[in-house]
């Protein structure tokens, strides 16, 4: 069992948890993820590592309560324990293995959308610990739904905020702010990293291409079981089928078929909706008649 050491409500539907997991913390690297099971009957939930502390033996995860399983996890309290916390899984971010001297000359721009700020944070933190201050854009619908801005500000070279309604920072999309930084402020970058919703990563990749900038994206939104066996994480990269769980989650964003990935992600909405209704009826003490309950 893995104890919840700390729990914070970041927004109405986004929760941060710090988990006691010494072995995972000792081996974790930026860009990797874990598989969580709330109890023995729970489904596998892939969650990107949002922070880790080998000395404390803790790993931080950020959960958006969307489906029945994530809502169940978010309902757990500080001091409770979850059944499984397996990891670290997936390949670390590529820059972790780069030559330190070469890495020091690189100018990074990270673009985080929504919950994507959580997996961006350990990457920016790792670079900061190695003397590299990256620029970061965090995008959100409004100031109330933005997460981890304070933590990011502490490790980033410059933090820029974009909100759809203009309630914080730049009013508009992250791609508009990205273009403004490059065209109006004369910012120059050697590498762009984008993590967030698929549609956001698609257009950040297109914007990066406009300026001939290499871009890395994280395809963690496609992951389901975390092993590649279910096939849900299939993604076409440079015309070849890749599996985000075992070959990623990070890929060259200029070569990802985002339209195909978005079509695939929509296939699971109906099943998730049926599962949500079942969970609600069970919680209300009613007999489910949706077809999945046996």
Q: Tell me the average pLDDT across 114-127.
A: 94
Mind giving me the DSSP string for 90-126? SPPPGGGGS-HHHHHT--EEEEEEGGGHHHHHHHHHH
The CATH number for 94-218, chosen from 3.90.45.10, 3.90.110.10, 3.40.50.80, 3.30.70.20, is 3.40.50.80
CA distance 232 to 244: 9
Helix 198-210 and helix 174-183, axial crossing angle in degrees, nearest 10:
20
Task: Name every residue whose Cβ is closer than 8 Å to that of residue 229 and which is 6 or more positions away in sequence.
Answer: none
pLDDT attached to residue 30? 94
- Stretch(es) of the chain classified as CATH 2.40.30.10: 2-89
Q: Give yes or no for a contact between 114 and 139, defined as CB atoms under 8 angstroms apart.
A: yes
- And the tokens for 73? 């996890």
The confidence score (pLDDT) of residue 245 equals 74
CA 100 to chain centre: 25
Position 280 pLDDT exceeds 90: no
Burial of 234 (C-beta count, 10 Å sphere; 0-12/13-18/19+): middle
Q: Which residues of 91-129 are buried (b: 16+ CB within 10 A; e: fewer)?
A: bbbebbeeeeeebeeeebbbbbbbbbbbbbbbbbbbbee
Higher local confidence (pLDDT), 61 or 41: 61
Tokens of 33: 């993820």
The pLDDT of residue 162 is 96
Residue 231 has pLDDT above 80, yes or no: no
**Homologous superfamily of 2-89:** Translation factors (2.40.30.10)
User: Quick one: pLDDT at residue 294?
Assistant: 40
Of the pLDDT bands very low, low, confident and very high (cuts 50, 70, 90), residue 11 is: very high
Q: What single-letter DSSP state applies at residue 221?
A: G
Question: pLDDT tens across 72-87, in order?
Answer: 999 999 999 999 999 8
pTM for the whole thing? 0.85
For 23-27, 35-39, 252-256, 284-288, which range has the lowest pLDDT when averaged over its residues?
A: 284-288
Categorize the per-residue pLDDT at 267 as very low, low, confident or very high, splitting at 50, 70 and 90.
low
**Low-confidence winner among 10-14, 116-120, 163-167, 271-275 (lowest mean pLDDT):** 271-275
Position 274 scores a pLDDT of 64
**What average pLDDT does range 23-42 have in this prediction?**
92
Tokens 């698929």, residue? 198
Q: In the predicted model, is pLDDT for residue 161 greater than 60? A: yes
Mean pLDDT of 176-197: 95
Average pLDDT, whole number, for the chain? Answer: 87
Residue predicted with more confidence, 68 or 134: 134
Cα-Cα-Cα-Cα torsion 224, 227, 229, 231, nearest 10 degrees, comes to 40
Which part of the chain is CATH 3.40.50.80?
94-218
User: How far is the C-alpha of 205 from the C-alpha of 252, rounded, in Å?
Assistant: 9
């Amino acid at each position: 069992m893995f104890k919840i050491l700390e729990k914070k409500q970041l927004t109405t539907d986004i929760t941060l948890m710090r988990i006691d997991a010494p072995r995972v913390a000792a081996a974790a690297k930026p860009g990797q993820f874990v598989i969580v099971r709330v109890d023995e009957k729970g489904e596998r939930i892939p969650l990107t590592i949002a922070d880790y502390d080998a000395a404390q033996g803790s790993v931080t995860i950020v959960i958006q309560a969307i489906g029945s399983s994530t809502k169940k996890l978010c309902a757990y309290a500080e001091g409770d324990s979850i059944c499984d916390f397996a990891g670290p899984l997936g390949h670390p971010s590529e820059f972790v293995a780069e030559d330190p001297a070469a890495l020091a000359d690189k100018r990074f721009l990270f673009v985080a959308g929504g919950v994507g700020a959580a997996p961006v944070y350990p990457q920016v933190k790792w670079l900061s610990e190695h003397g590299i201050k990256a620029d970061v854009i965090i995008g959100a619908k409004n100031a109330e739904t933005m997460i981890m801005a304070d933590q990011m500000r502490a490790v980033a070279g410059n933090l820029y905020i974009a909100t759809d309604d203009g309630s914080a920072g730049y009013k508009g999309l992250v791609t508009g702010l990205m273009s403004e930084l490059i065209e109006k402020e004369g910012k120059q970058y050697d590498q762009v990293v984008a993590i967030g919703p698929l549609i956001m990563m698609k257009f950040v990749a297109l914007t990066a291409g406009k300026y001939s900038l290499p871009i890395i994206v994280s395809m963690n939104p496609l992951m389901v079981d975390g092993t590649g066996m279910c096939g849900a994480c299939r993604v076409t990269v440079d015309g070849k089928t890749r599996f985000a769980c075992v070959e990623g989650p990070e890929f060259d964003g200029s070569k990802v078929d985002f339209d195909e990935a978005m079509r695939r992600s929509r296939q699971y909405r109906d099943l998730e909706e049926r599962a949500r209704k079942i969970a609600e009826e069970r919680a209300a003490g009613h007999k489910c008649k949706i077809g999945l309950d046996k």
